[in-house]
Amino acid sequence: MEEKLRRINLHKKPNHIAVIMDGNGRWAKGKGMQRVFGHRNALTAIRETADTASELDIEYVTLYAFSTENWNRPKLEVDALMSLLVSTLKKELPEFMRKNVRVNAIGDLNSLPANAQRVLAHVIDQTKDNSKITLTFALSYGAREEIVNAIKNISKKVVNNEIDIEKINEKIINTHLYTFNLPDVDLMIRTSGEQRISNFLLWQMAYAELYFTEVLWPDFRREDLLDAILDYQNRERRFGKTSEQIEETNE
């Protein structure tokens, strides 16, 4: 593992990693347990991902923790997930402070249970001055809903003459998204072998490199993240340019 760490080129590391944490239910089912057992055993993967990213000076990690579609799951599972969110935030706050982690959240946060909203707001406030890494939880999040809300808010400002319709550009759209204080995603990781982005950060991942692994999220560890970053570094990010143009820019 340390050999992999030495191979990481710190000049080519992603600045923002987004993760679709998939496979908790299948992991639990494989052990003859209920799905919530998988969610509870996913915390180690979150810790190792955040710690490894911080060690590599990767500034932003965003985790797809609960989608708008997840509200359709059985009530028992949803209630367990909300309870787990609250207990985890409370338990991890001292570690967030010790490790200089700033906690952030995106999504329709008002739809979360009152206790979850309260605890989340407290943790975000307590960690707001931390600066080593920003750990964002996407909660009750859906990218299409995010974009629809942005369009509505921009439209209202156009009607009220706060924004000139001819001046609407990517920057203005960005400022009306949940992620207005985050950079675009460089690397998106999805665990469990599924190869889709499931309504996650559609706007922000326009030029992201996508990495899919068969590893189920509760089993995802430091070495798996290093594998993803090494794979990322072997790709040529052209952003519409030719390879020759990229080489000239690097030179």
pLDDT tens across the length of the chain (251 residues):
678 888 999 899 999 999 999 999 999 999 999 888 899 899 999 999 999 999 999 999 999 999 999 999 999 999 999 999 999 999 999 999 999 999 999 999 999 999 999 999 999 999 999 999 999 999 999 999 999 999 999 999 999 999 999 999 999 999 999 999 999 999 999 999 999 999 999 999 999 999 999 999 999 999 999 999 999 999 976 656 555 555 655 55
Does residue 51 form part of some domain?
A: yes
Residue 67's domain is classified under what CATH number?
A: 3.40.1180.10
Judged by DSSP in three states, 172 sits in helix
Q: Do residues 163 and 154 lie in contact, with contact meaning Cβ atoms separated by under 8 Å?
A: yes
Does residue 90 form part of some domain?
A: yes
Interior CA angle at 192 toward 189 and 193, to 5°? Answer: 85
Q: What is the pLDDT of residue 37?
A: 85
70 is annotated as an active-site residue: yes
Does residue 160 form part of some domain?
A: no
One-letter amino acid of 23 = G
Q: Do residues 124 and 107 lie in contact, with contact meaning Cβ atoms separated by under 8 Å?
A: no
Does residue 19 form part of some domain?
A: yes
130 is annotated as an active-site residue: no
Does residue 45 form part of some domain?
A: yes
Contacts of 146 (CB under 8 A, 6+ apart): 106, 107, 177, 178, 203
Does residue 61 form part of some domain?
A: yes
Q: What is the pLDDT of residue 249?
A: 58
Phi, psi of 105 (to 5 degrees): -145, 145
The strand pairing partners of 18, in sequence order, are 62, 188
Range(s) of the domain holding residue 56: 11-141+185-232
Tell me the two tokens of residue 179: 């992620």
User: Residue 54 is inside which H or E element, if any?
Assistant: helix 43-55
Cα–chain-centroid distance for residue 142? Answer: 12
Does residue 246 form part of some domain?
A: no
> What is the distance in angstroms between the CA of the first residue and the CA of the last residue of the chain?
31
Catalytic residue of the set 70, 149, 153, 199: 70
The tally of domains found in the chain comes to 1
**pTM score:** 0.92
What is the spatial distance between Cα 136 and Cα 124, in angstroms, rounded to a whole number?
10
Does residue 34 form part of some domain?
A: yes
Q: What is the pLDDT of residue 242?
A: 56
